[in-house]
DNA sequence: CGAGTTTGACCCGCGC
DNA sequence: GCGCGGGTCAAACTCG
């Protein structure tokens, strides 16, 4: 439920089971995050350091149309930060805007989620190639893989921008206003909890998300979004109150850019959903070569600002557009622990 | 019957 | 080259 954040805490968290670099995932992901005081005091996962008000809150960033990278920067992930690693991947614009403020929000900027998946456009390709693979094998099999490889060969596999966040929740799959279809589940190494894979069921929407429970803190659900919704939140969703809550905002967002990036929105849908059981959420961001302009009117989520005084700490500088192009390089400096 | 889930098999990238 | 682990597919199954 949404509770107004009273104060934020800031801390480091190790999440090595969450790293997504595919294989060998042995690198550790460090996250820096902010958590609201909604977290029951005493919660081991979130402690300490005082929140520096000079940092922009996640919500604020989003409201300002901030992209992943800028977000990270705003959260104090300075280029010199040794605690936060990040990977900059994907060429897509970051999911900016579309978010309402985060009561119960813990923001994290992290990184290290590297990844393995394909980007939106590529996804269809990969899907196809897989089908090819199948067909070919049936036909006496040859080459299906080849096609795949050829495709990847020349160009590096593009990666979707990812956006991860941790949520204190009793339920694994959080309602976020979109419709998801589960397409896989895998056991996670070193974790008793499986990871579930979901795809947005909307036609042509290639957004995927992974949901897993933190083995370190079973009360925490880690959700990683990949890709960007190219459609608004389906309002007719099984009576989804959250969807209804945000759809108007979405519709009010005139720019295609905004319409195409709903991550944060998902997030907040989670947080505000009356039945979400969410106690706390922490954000993680990664990737992108942000080229998106700040497009989301802050007024869209003004109600959150009202509820959260911290959201007024800062706003995006007018030159944000430029920063977007700069920030990624900053992140790259921190990707030392992985590629 | 359509939509969504489960689950075993398979592919792929990466480290050794 | 091999093995491991993550990610995806798709047939079978479940549910409304």
Q: What is the pLDDT of residues A227-266, one digit of tens each?
A: 877 777 775 544 444 443 433 333 333 333 333 344 445 4
> Which residues on adjacent β-strands are paired with residue A213?
A221
Within 13 A of A143's CA, how many CA atoms are on the CB side? Answer: 4
Contact A94, A261 (CB under 8 A): yes
Q: Pick the most confident of A143-152, A188-197, A278-287.
A: A188-197
> CA A136, CA A175: separation in Å to the nearest integer?
39
Residue A99's φ and ψ, nearest 5 degrees, are -135, 145
Contact A84, A284 (CB under 8 A): no
Tokens, residue A185: 């589940």
Residue A331's φ and ψ, nearest 5 degrees, are -65, -40
pLDDT averaged over chain A? 47
Q: pLDDT tens, A162-178?
A: 777 788 777 777 777 78
pTM of the shown model: 0.53
Strand A105-106 to strand A49-50: parallel, antiparallel, or no bridges (unpaired)? unpaired
> CA A191, CA A189: separation in Å to the nearest integer?
5
CB of A137 under 7 A from strand B? yes
CB of A80 under 7 A from strand B? no
Mean pLDDT of A60-77: 40
Task: Specify the pLDDT at position A277.
Answer: 53
CB of A78 under 7 A from strand B? no
Q: Show contacts of A148-155: CB within 8 Å, 24+ apart.
A: A151/A125
Residue A249 CA distance to nucleotide B8 C1' (Å): 43
CB of A151 under 7 A from strand B? no
- Whether the per-residue pLDDT at A132 is higher than 70: the answer is no
Task: Specify the pLDDT at position A198.
Answer: 92
- Whether the per-residue pLDDT at A68 is higher than 50: the answer is no
CB of A40 under 7 A from strand C? no
CB of A213 under 7 A from strand C? no
- Whether the per-residue pLDDT at A214 is higher than 50: the answer is yes
Residue A183 CA distance to nucleotide C12 C1' (Å): 14
- Whether the per-residue pLDDT at A194 is higher than 60: the answer is yes
- Whether the per-residue pLDDT at A179 is higher than 60: the answer is yes
Measured CA to C1', what is the nucleotide nearest A25? C5
Task: Specify the pLDDT at position A282.
Answer: 61
Tokens, residue A24: 């060998």
Strand ranges (E), chain A: 8-14, 30-36, 49-50, 105-106, 108-109, 162-168, 180-187, 194-200, 208-213, 220-226, 280-286
First to last CA, chain A: 38
Write b or e for each residue in A15-33: b if 16 or more Cβ atoms lie within 10 A of its Cβ, otherwise e. Answer: bbbbbbbeeebebebbbbb
Q: Which residues 212-231 on A are within 7 A of strand B at the CB atom? A: none
Q: pLDDT tens, A273-298?
A: 444 455 555 665 554 433 333 333 33
Return the number of other C-beta atoms located less than 10 Å from residue A212's C-beta.
22
Identify the band that residue A37 occupies on the pLDDT scale cut at 50, 70 and 90. very low
User: Which of strand B's nucleotides are less than 7 A from any protein C-beta?
Assistant: 3-15
CB of A149 under 7 A from strand B? yes
Distances (CA, A) of A225 to A50, A219, A244: 28, 19, 21
Mean pLDDT of A95-108: 37
């Amino acid at each position: 439920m949404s509770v107004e954040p009273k104060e934020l805490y800031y801390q480091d968290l190790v999440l090595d089971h969450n790293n997504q670099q595919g294989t060998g995932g042995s690198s550790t992901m460090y996250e820096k995050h902010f958590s609201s005081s909604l977290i029951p005091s005493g919660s081991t996962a979130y402690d300490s350091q005082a929140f520096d008000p000079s940092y922009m809150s996640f919500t604020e960033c989003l409201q300002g149309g901030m992209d992943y990278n800028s977000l990270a920067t705003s959260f104090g992930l300075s280029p010199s930060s040794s605690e936060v690693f990040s990977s900059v991947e994907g060429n897509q614009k970051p999911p900016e805007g579309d978010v309402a403020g985060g009561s119960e929000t813990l923001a994290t900027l992290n990184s290290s989620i590297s990844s393995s998946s394909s980007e939106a456009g590529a996804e269809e390709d990969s899907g196809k190639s897989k089908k090819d693979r199948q067909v070919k094998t049936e036909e006496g099999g040859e080459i299906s893989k080849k096609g795949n490889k050829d495709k990847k060969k020349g160009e590096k596999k593009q990666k979707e921008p990812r956006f991860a966040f941790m949520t204190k929740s009793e339920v694994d799959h959080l309602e976020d206003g979109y419709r998801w279809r589960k397409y896989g589940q895998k056991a996670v190494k070193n974790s008793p909890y499986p990871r579930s894979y979901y795809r947005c069921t909307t036609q042509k929407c290639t957004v995927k998300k992974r949901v897993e429970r933190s083995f370190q803190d079973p009360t925490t659900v880690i959700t990683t979004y990949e890709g960007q919704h190219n459609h608004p939140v389906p309002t007719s969703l099984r009576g989804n109150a959250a969807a209804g809550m945000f759809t108007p905002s979405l519709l009010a967002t005139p720019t295609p850019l905004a319409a195409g990036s709903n991550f944060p929105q998902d997030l907040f849908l989670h947080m505000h959903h009356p039945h979400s059981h969410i106690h706390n959420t922490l954000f993680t961001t990664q990737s992108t070569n942000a080229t998106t302009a700040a497009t989301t009117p802050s007024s869209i989520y003004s109600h959150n600002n009202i509820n959260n005084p911290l959201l007024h700490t800062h706003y995006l500088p007018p030159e944000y557009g430029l920063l977007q192009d700069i920030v990624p390089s900053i992140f790259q400096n921190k990707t030392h622990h992985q590629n």
